[in-house]
């Protein structure tokens, strides 16, 4: 199939890109009715069964990008509450301290509490009304290339191949087999979210990431809770630092008042921790047991669960975002402000700017890097740069822990994002993981972080109960979509060196070291639980796990999240 533009991924970045492109074409066709452009050859591929089902975030929306894209959007968009009150707390094991003032980056007046799932569904309707087709249930399994070059300036992306349907677990075609489509496109726009599989392949093949500034990630775990009236007000925002993470780990919690009786509560753990037994799911459960959170949640009911990774690295870790026939957007390209804990507006703006470059390519028939480079120029000249450049060293400043990180953040505030000397470099987060033998005595006393506990079923939950609340569904008779290169390495070397950390960092109980038939233990992969958070692809210490898309349509169902 031939297309002018293919947008891979129907999250906020992809939707904003599609809408802006449709607006530009409509405006062009009014002025140039004699040379109209068509939207028929523009399409979006989305791997979830319905638009928005794989979209997960806290979520707070900074409305800046939306006001540019659809002025007056507030009148009809699904916004749960306008932020009216913020507070920040530092939690100790027994007690908490309220920050006397809310640090400026965490002041959220004017932002909205939203369900990203509902918001993206609404954007999807706008995209379809604008005349752009969204194919749901189709994942991009690989990129199509016009040549074999691995040089950025010579290589050209020629489109996307979608996933095969109807393949059994042995890899054989079933009765309903349908091979994937080759969508040949002049411009391929990758908006797959964090650690997209096609974006990862592109970045690796063309060497787009600077190894001195590797992307770093966090894992966010979220639950929706119904709580008794009077505990958290609609539009109230609470952030916490500290417990249960120690000063060595990066992360913190949020509580957002969706309504007077419904809250979004979650915890982000930086995926650059040292202890291989760190268990982000358990970190969140321990947070809920702290008296501060317990007072809010007790007597309430958890109704939904989800987990995803998010890119923390910011401006310095942004890979090259354009080339011949392709552009990278949103979380796939590091458009997130980790100081403000916000990325939706940046993802949308990146999509809008990419749309302008794609529109120029449609007009001129030239989709080379020369034309699509306008996207990067526009990013550099936009408020994306103004927002991300002054916080470019923020996350990197925490490499030696919380205290140094806060001092570094204060210095950066004075130096407009700078530090003494050159900008900070950082390795990939998985390289920070220490071997079991290297852990000191104090590491073994950190049960709130490393213990994979069962939960009490009221306030805290085990992974399987949580996965049930994520609505995750995959056809069991399909190839395992977590490709582990060397199971012997898992069984022997990883057991010895790192204690199989996949059992702990996966928030969905996918990985399990189970008794094997011939004695001993081997890695069992319960792939149908996978909530597509991509943590295993990111955090495996040997980098031998590759997340590939399961058959399109499979995965979580984040309705209302």
How is the beta sheet containing 112-113 ordered, strand by strand?
A: 60-61, 112-113, 81-82
- Of 531, 549, 551, 552, which lies in the binding site for ligand SF4, with binding defined by CB under 6 A? 531
Find the shortest distance in angstroms from Cβ 19 to ligand SF4: 29
Q: Per CB under 6 A, does 534 bind ligand SF4?
A: yes
Binding mask 453-482 for ligand SF4 (x = CB under 6 A): -----------------------------x
- Of 199, 535, 555, 561, which lies in the binding site for ligand SF4, with binding defined by CB under 6 A? 535
The Cα–Cα gap between 358 and 22 comes to 11
Name the residue nearer to ligand SF4 (CB basis): 24 or 482: 482
Q: Is the peptide bond before 550 cis (omega within 30 degrees of 0)?
A: no
Residue 185 neighbours by CB distance under 10 Å: 27
Find the shortest distance in angstroms from Cβ 188 to ligand SF4: 24
Q: Per CB under 6 A, does 271 bind ligand SF4?
A: no
The Cα–Cα gap between 363 and 125 comes to 26
Q: Per CB under 6 A, does 56 bind ligand SF4?
A: no
What does the DSSP 8-state code read for residue 307? E
148-156, 366-374, 438-446, 529-537 -> range binding ligand SF4 (CB under 6 A): 529-537
- Of 60, 327, 530, 561, which lies in the binding site for ligand SF4, with binding defined by CB under 6 A? 530
Find the shortest distance in angstroms from Cβ 535 to ligand SF4: 4
Give the footprint of ligand SF4 on residues 114-153 (CB under 6 A).
none
The Cα–Cα gap between 335 and 455 comes to 35
3-state DSSP helix/strand/coil % of the chain, to nearest 5? 35, 25, 40
- Of 384, 510, 513, 523, which lies in the binding site for ligand SF4, with binding defined by CB under 6 A? 510
> Terminus-to-terminus CA distance in the chain, angstroms?
34
Find the shortest distance in angstroms from Cβ 172 to ligand SF4: 24
Q: Per CB under 6 A, does 532 bind ligand SF4?
A: yes
Name the residue nearer to ligand SF4 (CB basis): 319 or 550: 550
Three-state DSSP at 13 gives helix
Three-state DSSP at 349 gives helix
Find the shortest distance in angstroms from Cβ 217 to ligand SF4: 11
Beta-bridged to residue 61, according to DSSP, are 112
Q: Per CB under 6 A, does 536 bind ligand SF4?
A: yes
Q: Per CB under 6 A, does 268 bind ligand SF4?
A: no
The Cα–Cα gap between 168 and 146 comes to 31
- Of 449, 506, 513, 561, which lies in the binding site for ligand SF4, with binding defined by CB under 6 A? 506
The Cα–Cα gap between 10 and 125 comes to 12
Name the residue nearer to ligand SF4 (CB basis): 247 or 503: 503
Find the shortest distance in angstroms from Cβ 230 to ligand SF4: 35
C-alpha distances (whole Å) from 177 to each of 166, 180, 430, 479 are: 4, 10, 38, 13
The Cα–Cα gap between 343 and 432 comes to 25
* Structure tokens belonging to residue 129: 């009304």
Name the residue nearer to ligand SF4 (CB basis): 161 or 532: 532
Whether the CB-CB separation of 194 and 309 falls below 8 Å is answered with yes
Q: Per CB under 6 A, does 39 bind ligand SF4?
A: no
Residue 424 neighbours by CB distance under 10 Å: 19
Q: Per CB under 6 A, does 523 bind ligand SF4?
A: no
Q: Per CB under 6 A, does 490 bind ligand SF4?
A: no
Chain residues that interact with ligand SF4, rule: CB under 6 A: 482, 506-508, 510, 530-536, 547
């Amino acid at each position: 199939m031939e297309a002018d533009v293919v947008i891979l991924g129907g999250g906020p970045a992809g939707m904003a890109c599609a809408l802006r492109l449709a607006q530009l074409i409509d405006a062009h066709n009014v002025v140039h009715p004699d040379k109209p452009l068509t939207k028929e050859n523009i399409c979006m591929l989305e791997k979830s069964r319905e638009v928005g089902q794989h979209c997960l975030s806290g979520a707070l929306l900074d409305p800046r990008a939306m006001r540019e894209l659809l002025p007056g959007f507030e009148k009809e968009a699904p916004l749960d509450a306008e932020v009216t009150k913020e507070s920040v707390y530092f939690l100790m094991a027994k007690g908490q301290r309220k920050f006397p003032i809310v640090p400026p980056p965490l002041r959220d007046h004017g932002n909205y509490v939203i369900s990203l799932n509902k918001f993206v569904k609404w954007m999807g309707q706008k995209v379809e009304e604008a005349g752009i087709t969204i194919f749901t249930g189709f994942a991009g399994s690989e990129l199509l290339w016009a040549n074999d070059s691995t040089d950025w300036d010579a290589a050209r992306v020629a489109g996307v191949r979608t996933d095969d349907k109807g393949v059994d677990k042995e890899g054989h075609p079933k009765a309903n087999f349908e091979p994937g489509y080759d969508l040949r496109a002049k411009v391929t726009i990758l908006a797959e979210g964090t650690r997209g599989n096609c974006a990862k392949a592109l970045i690796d093949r063309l060497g787009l990431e600077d190894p001195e500034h590797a992307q770093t990630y966090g894992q966010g775990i979220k639950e929706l809770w119904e709580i008794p009236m009077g505990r958290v007000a609609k539009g109230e925002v609470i952030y916490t630092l500290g417990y249960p993470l120690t000063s060595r780990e990066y992360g913190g919690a949020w509580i957002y008042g969706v309504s007077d009786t419904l809250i979004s509560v979650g915890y982000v753990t930086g995926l650059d921790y040292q202890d291989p037994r760190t268990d982000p799911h358990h970190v969140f459960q321990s947070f809920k047991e702290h008296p501060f959170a317990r007072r809010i949640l007790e007597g309430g009911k958890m109704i939904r669960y989800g987990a995803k990774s998010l890119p923390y690295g910011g401006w310095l870790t942004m890979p090259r975002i354009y080339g011949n026939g392709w552009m990278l957007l949103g979380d796939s390209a590091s458009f997130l402000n980790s100081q403000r804990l916000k990325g939706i507006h940046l993802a949308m703006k990146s999509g809008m700017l990419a749309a302008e470059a794609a529109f120029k390519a449609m007009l001129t028939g030239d989709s080379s890097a020369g034309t699509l480079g306008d996207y990067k120029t526009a990013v550099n000249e936009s408020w994306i740069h103004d927002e991300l450049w002054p916080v470019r060293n923020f996350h990197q400043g925490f490499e030696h822990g919380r205290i140094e990180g806060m001092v570094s953040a204060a210095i950066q505030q004075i130096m407009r994002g700078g530090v003494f000397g050159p900008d900070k470099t950082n390795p990939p987060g998985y390289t920070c993981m220490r071997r079991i033998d290297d852990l000191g005595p104090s590491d073994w006393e950190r049960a709130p972080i490393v213990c994979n506990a069962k939960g009490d079923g009221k306030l805290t939950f085990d992974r399987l109960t949580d996965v049930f609340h994520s609505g995750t569904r995959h056809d069991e008779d399909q190839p395992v979509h977590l490709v582990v290169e060397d199971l012997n390495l898992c069984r022997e070397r990883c057991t010895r060196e790192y204690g199989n950390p996949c059992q702990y960092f996966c928030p969905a109980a996918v990985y399990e070291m189970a008794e094997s038939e011939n004695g001993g233990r081997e890695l069992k992969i319960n792939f149908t639980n996978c909530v597509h958070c991509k943590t295993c692809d990111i955090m495996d210490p040997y980098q031998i796990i590759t997340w590939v898309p399961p058959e399109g349509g499979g995965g979580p169902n984040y309705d209302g999240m």
